[in-house]
């Protein structure tokens, strides 16, 4: 089954309400302080989009903050500013059973809320651009599947997706909702909750809360299950990297939305576009690693500037 069909089946599992009974809507408190775009910024951006015939877009965690998912690095409201919680490292997950127990316990608690988050105006505008043939390709660094929920199809998930789970041994793949049912079956008496959530759906739990949690195993071979996400300390699969480099070559301009580009996995494509002398625009609150490469940098939230197109 290809990724588009897989997501059509996954969307059936998405719900508007979480298990905590709260409506999953836009949560502006995850959007960093910013000023509205001025007329000069708007005019420059309109001209950039008008001149782009094969536009490549790269999105980051900043576009999902308006849906209620925090990013990592934003001043004051990002995960790193609000919490000592840090993403799991790939080697720790693979080698340490206690790390996998902690990860899946926290992910199990966070999943009902994370999976119910809805796309916001930015996701929907990008989906509209695709339908209007105004967008050549979309590359997202996010693992939240919100572009698919908004209807986008020409998408590369650079860092994978939290909505898929793979066996590290036999490579059998299942959907994350399927795993949720497996965990419930393996942990009928285990219960915990948390109100804090990370960009990948992780939450904070104490060791006391985690004790007694049974870690799921692959139903095919008994192997280790891992979300189909590129963890910190791991590498993006080379064929995926080469595919995106090809999209950079095919494009005539590059737009970055909601990313600091601090992680090299995304920055390298902006650098490649710069070396190919292609126009680059960045819309993101706060400084980015590629500001010096951009022809246009607009320091505001993405939906506000896209709404003018």
Catalytic residues: 159
Closest alpha carbon to 195 in 18, 64, 14, 17: 18
Q: How do beta strands 137-140 and 155-157 pair? A: parallel
Beta pairing partners, 302: none
Rounded distance between C-alpha atoms, residue 243 and residue 239, angstroms: 6
CB distance 88 to 286 below 8 Å:
no
| CA dihedral of 73, 77, 81, 83, whole degrees rounded to 10 | -110
CB distance 27 to 294 below 8 Å:
no
CB distance 21 to 222 below 8 Å:
no
Closest alpha carbon to 256 in 278, 234, 233, 227: 278
Order across the sheet with 55-59: list the strands: 155-157, 137-140, 55-59, 253-257, 280-283, 296-298
Rounded distance between C-alpha atoms, residue 297 and residue 294, angstroms: 6
Closest alpha carbon to 290 in 246, 251, 260: 260
The SS3 call for residue 246 is helix
């Amino acid at each position: 089954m290809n990724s588009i069909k897989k997501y059509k089946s996954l969307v059936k599992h998405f719900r508007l309400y979480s298990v905590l009974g709260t409506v999953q809507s836009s949560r502006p408190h995850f959007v960093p302080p910013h000023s509205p775009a001025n007329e000069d910024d708007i005019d420059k951006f309109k001209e950039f989009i008008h001149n782009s015939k094969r536009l490549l877009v790269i999105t980051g965690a900043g576009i999902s903050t308006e849906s209620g998912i925090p990013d990592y690095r934003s001043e004051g409201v990002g995960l790193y500013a609000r919490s000592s919680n840090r993403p799991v490292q790939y080697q720790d997950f693979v080698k340490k059973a206690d790390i996998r127990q902690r990860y899946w316990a926290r992910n199990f608690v966070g999943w009902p809320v994370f999976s119910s988050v809805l796309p916001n105006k930015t996701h929907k505008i990008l989906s509209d651009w695709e339908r209007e043939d105004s967008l050549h390709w979309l590359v997202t660094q996010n693992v939240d599947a919100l572009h698919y929920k908004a209807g986008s199809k020409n998408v590369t998930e650079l860092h994978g997706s939290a909505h898929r789970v793979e066996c590290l041994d036999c490579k059998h793949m299942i959907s994350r909702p399927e795993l949720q049912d497996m965990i419930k079956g393996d942990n009928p008496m285990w219960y915990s909750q948390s109100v804090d959530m990370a960009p990948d759906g992780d939450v904070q739990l104490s060791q006391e809360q985690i004790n007694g949690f049974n870690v799921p195993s692959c139903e095919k071979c008994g192997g280790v299950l891992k979300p189909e996400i590129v963890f910190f300390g791991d590498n993006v699969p080379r064929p995926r990297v080469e595919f995106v480099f090809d999209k950079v070559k095919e494009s005539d301009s590059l737009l970055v939305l909601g990313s600091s580009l601090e992680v090299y996995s995304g920055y390298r494509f902006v650098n490649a576009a710069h070396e190919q002398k292609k126009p680059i625009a960045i819309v993101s609150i706060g400084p980015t690693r590629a500001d010096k490469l951009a022809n246009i940098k607009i320091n505001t939230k993405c939906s506000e500037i896209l709404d003018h197109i």
